[in-house]
Structure 1
Amino acid sequence: MGQKLKCLVEQVTWVQVEPLFIEYYGHYFNKFKKRIKKKKIKRFAAIFEQLKVAYSEETSWRVKISKTRHEGAFFIDVSGLDGTLYREQDDFDFNLHGEYADKEVPFSLIFIPWRIWLGMRVEQSTLVFFSYEEILAHCLWEMTYYHNSIEDSC
């Protein structure tokens, strides 16, 4: 079983995460002037520091990160797993998608409160293929897509 996301946050510094965060997501800030871009990156640094002292809530959910290829391009998918199998979905069609029957359904975590994110265990496959710094860069981006603070995410 993987480590909790909160444990990863406690073991890594923003200085270690920032270069990867900029590598993966810096292009979203290119339209801004350098001064504003710097200010936005500082906001993520502040959020990262908030996560270090934030409360984590126990959960059975797990966070999974995977690199996916779609139409010739790679993208990173951050999703949550709770043990639900595709076959358990009301609209699952064995005739069309039988090979997925015993696979877990990945769920979006975008609207999940940060305290629950922090309590999630990181899927073992994620720990094998991504460094702690990469995991945190991707999770931070996903966590902050609609929320700018711990209070916003509740």
Structure 2
Amino acid sequence: MLFKDLIETHEWLMLEKRFWELYSDYCDSEKSIKDFEKVFLNIKSLKAQEPDIDNMLLIIKLIEEENEEIPDWHDVSGFVEKENMLYSLGDTRWEEWLGMKIYPDTMKNYDPIDIIIHCLWEMTFYGYTQEIIQAYFSDLEEGFDKDLAEDMKLSSNGIKLE
């Protein structure tokens, strides 16, 4: 099943109460729930696209923390089974999220509503619009490029040439 198929079979009112149950400790206000609702409605209107990485599946796993003071959490990632490789989806276009198949164990271990909610949480970790998320990662990359350029100013013996 594609993530888009799951989204299309649900309405926000089906998700809102459960969203509060799962993420109320992290949601600062009623406004943030409204922001998630806007994202959900936006996502419903988008067309699914194939992910850039072939055979990428959407996977959710429970991460049980050893330290009892840290609550357990759910990791949402892209997964390429034949490589046994997990990928961060933080900067993945929402259309690609919609085009991902859901890993069978995720469908077996999670209620469909919980899958949608955990994915919404992950999709909006860096912002509530794709433009904000893209700007965040562009700034991050630009900062990385500047750091790399500084590192390239090293001489062959490791001393910076100023």
Q: Which runs of 5+ in 2 are unaligned?
A: 135-162
Counterpart of 2:48 (choices 47, 50, 56) is 56
TM-score normalized with structure 1 length: 0.76
Counterpart of 2:78 (choices 77, 80, 103) is 80
What is the aligned partner in structure 1 of residue 111 from structure 2?
A: 131
What is the aligned partner in structure 2 of residue 6 from structure 1?
A: 4
Alignment of 1:2-151 (within 5 A): 3-29=1-27, 32=28, 37-59=29-51, 60-71=55-66, 72=68, 73-83=71-81, 85=83, 104-151=84-131
Q: Which runs of 5+ in 1 are unaligned?
A: 86-103
Secondary structure class of the residue paired with 2:26? helix
TM-score normalized with structure 2 length: 0.73
| Percent of aligned pairs with the same amino acid | 31
Deviation digits for residues 35-62 of structure 1 (CA, Å, limit 9, x no counterpart): xx11211111111011111121123311
Higher relative contact order (CA 8 A, sep 6+): 1
Aligned length: 128
Residue type at the aligned position of 2:42? Q
Cα deviation for residue 18 of structure 1 reads 1.4
| Inter-CA distance 137–125: structure 2 relative to 1 (3 Å threshold) | same
CA distance in 1, matches of 2:125, 2:82: 25
Structure 1 vs Structure 2 CA RMSD: 1.6
Regions of 4+ moved over 3 Å: 150-154
